[in-house]
Structure 1
Amino acid sequence: MARRPARAEHPHRSDGETDAADRVLTLPNLISFVRLLGVPLFLWLFLVVEADVAAVVVLAIGGTTDWVDGWIARRLGQVSRLGELLDPLADRLYILATLLAFTVREVVPWQFTAALLARELLLIGSLAVLRRYGYGPPPVHYVGKTATFLLLAAFPILLLASASVPVATAAGAIGWGLAWWGLVLYWVAGAMYVVQAGRLVRAVRADSRGAAA
């Protein structure tokens, strides 16, 4: 769906709704901050002290709480602009940090990491184009949320497969099944964002040509 420029006002909102959107100290935002703190904790546990079991716990908590902040925000009426930025930021940092750490420890092959990083570069390019035309980030699509959920669910299972020999076969099969589906949907969501950005840019250019004429 089309998104109005980031600098545009929202005249249809009441003052109360606008104040709520600008709030920082909310429970959902606190949960997102805690999830962000889990990223360096995971890296320290996994790469420095190599406490794989504790790293699995941190990853599992970070993945299972992915939906909690958004659900609470909608439930309590605490949806905010900061929360809309923090939630996908925490997701991306978890995914990128985990991928890089897993690649260093050879839990996943570098080709898998490269495929996900290439998608992130594609999205960064699209966001740069949108910002040039006065638009903020596009709303998160359910396909992207599904891909993120699958990846965040796959990572602790893959780590468990690497750390525990008795369950390695079963955990590896489940983990890689989730990971590959997550990768495919991640690219599908990326393509949808690019198409959306292209439509917005073409609309802006058409309006500019019409105004000039």
Structure 2
Amino acid sequence: MPSPEPTDADEASFDDGSSEGASSEGASSEGASSEGASSEGVFDNIWTLPNLFTLIRLLCLPLFLYLLFAQDNRAGAAWLLAGLGSTDWVDGYVARRFDQTSEFGKVFDPTVDRLLFIVAVTAIIIDGSIPLWFAIAVLAREVIVGGVIAFATLFLRMERFGVTWLGKVATFMLMGAVPSFLIGTTDVWEAPFFEVLAWLLGIPGLLLSYWTGIAYIPLVRQGIAAGRTSATTSTALVSSAPVPAIEPATETNDHERP
């Protein structure tokens, strides 16, 4: 999820003399129409390969819970969770590689990622396979950051921005630490290795996640300002659009008919 890049400035050319106003008005109308043509609704273009892959990852969540609680298979649940976390990049790569990005996918993918993470950590807390203080710290960061971004997007018209590179690193480390805590409590031969790996990934990942959460504050403020500016510009374009004049109907005098 790359950080947002600035858009190119619009270019416009004007004629000399009295045609300057007409050219400017035409350019504004053309820009407004092209902007409307390029806009895409959230529920447009849903059925894409990246969105299907994200849906499959989401459907693996009940299987994770089944392995952990119904089968008491901590190792199997841990490996499944590790697989879900390590394939997080696949849908984004496919979307960019095959030009299948969609507005729905931009919302669906991070929502599924956060849901998988929160449910998995909560389930492991119930199972007692992760230090409680660590799990609460992880969940608190996810809920606070996710809640702020959702509120700003829905109610403050914030423009969405991508996750920073450090944010990706923090997420990757935590997604490795959480299943490592789980598999470290099993009786498999590699359990001691994963018990150590969980702390090696967990502590730096947790600190980095809070650091990136603080670093998102200016990005959120910029996104809110950009969203308000975009909404004001769109309103101004609509209000300044020329309205065709309606000529009043002329009444005919019967005495003037031939």
Q: TM-score range by the shorter chain?
A: 0.7 to 0.9
Aligned-pair CA distance for 1:72 = 0.8
Give the corresponding residue for 2:218. Answer: 195
In structure 2, do the counterparts of structure 1 residues 174 and 199 end up closer, same or farther at CA, with 3 Å as the change threshold? same
Give the corresponding residue for 1:181. Answer: 204
8 Å Cα contact 1:43/1:97 also seen in 2? no
Give the corresponding residue for 1:146. Answer: 169
User: 1:33, 1:135 → 2: CA distance?
Assistant: 26
Residue 91 in 1 paired to residue 101 in 2?
Answer: no
Equivalences for 1:6-155 in 2 at 5 Å? 11=34, 18=40, 22-123=44-145, 124-155=147-178
Higher helix share: 1
Normalised TM-score (structure 1): 0.80
8 Å Cα contact 2:85/2:175 also seen in 1? yes
User: 1:64, 1:191 → 2: CA distance?
Assistant: 25
In structure 2, do the counterparts of structure 1 residues 113 and 199 end up closer, same or farther at CA, with 3 Å as the change threshold? same
The one-letter code of the counterpart of 1:59 is: L
Of 178-187 and 121-130, more deviation after overlay is shown by: 121-130
Deviations 1:139-173 (A, max 9, x none): 22222222222222222322221113533322111
Of 126-135 and 142-151, more deviation after overlay is shown by: 126-135
Aligned-pair CA distance for 1:27 = 0.9
Partner secondary structure for residue 108 of structure 1: coil
The one-letter code of the counterpart of 1:114 is: I
Partner secondary structure for residue 23 of structure 1: coil
User: 1:188, 1:10 → 2: CA distance?
Assistant: 42
In structure 2, do the counterparts of structure 1 residues 183 and 3 end up closer, same or farther at CA, with 3 Å as the change threshold? farther
In structure 2, do the counterparts of structure 1 residues 165 and 55 end up closer, same or farther at CA, with 3 Å as the change threshold? closer
Aligned-pair CA distance for 1:12 = 5.7
In structure 2, do the counterparts of structure 1 residues 117 and 11 end up closer, same or farther at CA, with 3 Å as the change threshold? farther
Aligned-pair CA distance for 1:49 = 2.2
Give the corresponding residue for 1:211. Answer: none
In structure 2, do the counterparts of structure 1 residues 11 and 140 end up closer, same or farther at CA, with 3 Å as the change threshold? farther
8 Å Cα contact 2:160/2:223 also seen in 1? no
8 Å Cα contact 1:158/1:172 also seen in 2? yes
Point out where structure 2 has 5 or more consecutive residues left out of the alignment: 8-31, 233-258
8 Å Cα contact 1:148/1:182 also seen in 2? yes
Aligned-pair CA distance for 1:132 = 2.5
Partner secondary structure for residue 162 of structure 1: coil
Normalised TM-score (structure 2): 0.67
Residue 162 in 1 paired to residue 185 in 2?
Answer: yes
8 Å Cα contact 1:66/1:149 also seen in 2? no
The one-letter code of the counterpart of 1:133 is: L
User: 2:90, 2:5 → 1: CA distance?
Assistant: 27
Point out where structure 1 has 5 or more consecutive residues left out of the alignment: 209-213
